[in-house]
Each structure stands twice: as structure tokens, then as C-alpha cells.
Amino acid sequence: MSHSPSTTPVLTIDGPSGSGKGTIAALVAERLGWHILDSGALYRLSGYSAIKKNIDFSDIEELVNNTLNMSVRFESGRIWLDDEDVSLEIRTESAGNNASKVAAIPEIRSCLLQWQRDYVKAPGLVADGRDMGTVVFPEADIKIFLDASAEVRAERRYKQLIEKGLSANLAHLVEEIRERDDRDRNRTVAPLCAADDAVVIDSSDMAIESVKKQVLEVVKLRLPDLVIA
Ligand code: DC
């Protein structure tokens, strides 16, 4: 079942890792008073949980079973997996790489499809990921594709990791971002790409506030009757 454009509005924000999607999605969702879906977190949780349980990534059946049985709670900015606060653990670069690996498995993508669609709730949803506008919410009212150069994205990721007290190496980050982009863009299922009807924003030389402003302008254009408090 796909999302119907006549019901709750959906804004999708897709883009490569480190493009600022997460930050922009959170700021725009807050401004609009809408719910938020961090779809990358679901892939991160799937990979993280599999590693913790020593599940081999080639054992697709076990991976799918484990993913479907995860008990996940998003609460006040924290993420809980089976009653453990994993907010920090799933943000490491290795968790990101594991997420990218499980995300390339078609069976994992299909088992997360309905889960993601169930996040649509009034008054609206901002969904951030790689295939939000192309696969999960093809009928979304507003679609944004947020891009930035690999170098700029690596620098942003570096700052985020250091701020969180995690260790990081800039040169490795550029390399890892390129590798991850390559895997995300070239996988056979739901590869990272802009939907035909997405507005593409290159944020390489833009401040967060300007990106937020531009996204809100697109929202107003696409939903002229929407009252933004
Ligand atoms: O947005 P993120 O860095 O948290 O995503 C982690 C990985 O999950 C990313 O490398 C690709 C994958 N992903 C995906 O394939 N589809 C999505 N909708 C979201 C994330």
C-alpha cells in the first residue's frame, strides 16, 4: 500500500551520508510540527543488532527474522533497541558501514518497507533517507534531494563525531564516505538517486539555516494552503 497524496502530507529528504539530511529533517519537522522518520536509523539498528547477536550477514533468513523482531523506541531524541539505549552506538562509522551492507539486501529493504510507511501520522511526516521519495513514499507531496561534495560531507561528519566524543580521522572519513556512496548508489535495489520530481539542493556552500529556508519555501510552494504557525 503506498501513501495517498490526498491524506497526511509527506515531505521526503533523500541524499548521501553527511549531506545534512538528518539535521535539516529535524529542523523542518520542528518548524512544521510534523513527525519524523529517520529511516537510516532502522538500517543501522538492523546491522547493529545482527552484529551483537553474531548473525552472519550472508544468513539472510536470520537477518530478516532478527530485524522483524527488533523492539525499537524513538523517545525524546534517544533510540532504544530491546530496552538498551543505543543512540550513540549506532552512530559510529562502523555502524554506518554495517547499515549500508544490510541495506543492500533486498529482503531487508522489503521487511522495513511497511514499518517505514506506518510512520505517516497527522499532521505530517518528514522522512529522511536514501529512497524515501523513490520507493517508500513515491506519492509524497514534497521531495527534496540534498547533496554536497564528499569532502564537505566528511568534514561535517568529522565535527559531529568529535562533538559526540567519538574518535575520527578526516582522511579515512573521505575514503569511507566515497565507498559508502558507491555502495548506496550502485546497489541493485532502491539505489540512492533523486526522484524525477525532487527538488535538488546542493548544500556544499550553504549554511544550515539557508538550506532550511529553501526547503520551507518548497513546502509553501507545494502546499500553498498549509498554515505554518
Ligand atoms: O542516513 P544514515 O547514514 O543513517 O544511513 C545509514 C545507511 O543506511 C546508509 O549507508 C544507507 C542505508 N540507508 C538506506 O539504504 N536507505 C535509507 N532509506 C536510509 C539509509
| Strand, coil or helix: 102 | helix
| CA dihedral for 107, 126, 79, 192, sign (positive or negative) | positive
Taking the model in full, what pTM does it have?
Answer: 0.90
Angle, alpha carbons 93-95-100 (nearest 5°):
95
86 in Cβ contact with 79 (< 8 Å): yes
Q: Please report whether residue 4 resides in a domain.
A: no
For residue 5, pLDDT over 50 is answered with no
Domain count, the chain: 1
How far, in Å, from the CA of 7 to the mean position of ligand 1?
Answer: 26
Q: Please report whether residue 5 resides in a domain.
A: no
Atom of ligand 1 nearest to the CA of 97: 10
Per DSSP bridges, beta strands 142-147 and 199-202 are parallel
How far, in Å, from the CA of 221 to the mean position of ligand 1?
Answer: 28
In the prediction, which pLDDT does 6 show? 53
Per DSSP bridges, beta strands 78-81 and 72-75 are antiparallel
Q: Please report whether residue 105 resides in a domain.
A: yes
φ, ψ of residue 161 in degrees (nearest 5): -65, -45
31: containing domain: 10-217
Q: Please report whether residue 224 resides in a domain.
A: no
Q: Please report whether residue 61 resides in a domain.
A: yes
Share of the chain above pLDDT 90, in %: 74
- Residue of 14, 45, 39, 36 whose CA lies nearest to 146: 14
How far, in Å, from the CA of 16 to the mean position of ligand 1?
Answer: 8
The CATH number covering residue 209 comes to 3.40.50.300
In the prediction, which pLDDT does 227 show? 84
For residue 1, pLDDT over 60 is answered with no
- Per the structure block, which three cell numbers stand in for 124? 505530517
Nearest CA to ligand 1 atom 3: 17
Atom of ligand 1 nearest to the CA of 184: 11
pLDDT tens for residues 103-112? 999 999 999 9
Mean pLDDT (whole number) for 135-162: 93
* 38, containing H or E segment: strand 35-38
Instruction: Give the binding-site residues of ligand 1, using a 6 Å CB cut-off.
Output: 17, 39-40, 43-44, 96, 99-100, 103, 129-131, 180, 184
Mean pLDDT (whole number) for 13-41: 94
Nearest CA to ligand 1 atom 18: 129
Q: Please report whether residue 151 resides in a domain.
A: yes
Mean pLDDT (whole number) for 28-52: 97
Q: Please report whether residue 222 resides in a domain.
A: no
Q: Please report whether residue 3 resides in a domain.
A: no
How far, in Å, from the CA of 225 to the mean position of ligand 1?
Answer: 32
Euclidean distance between CA atoms 46 and 42, whole angstroms: 6
Pocket test for ligand 1, best of 57, 100, 113, 114 (most atoms within 8 A of CB): 100
142 in Cβ contact with 223 (< 8 Å): yes
φ, ψ of residue 78 in degrees (nearest 5): -105, 155
How far, in Å, from the CA of 26 to the mean position of ligand 1?
Answer: 16
pLDDT tens for residues 175-205? 988 988 888 888 888 888 999 999 999 999 9
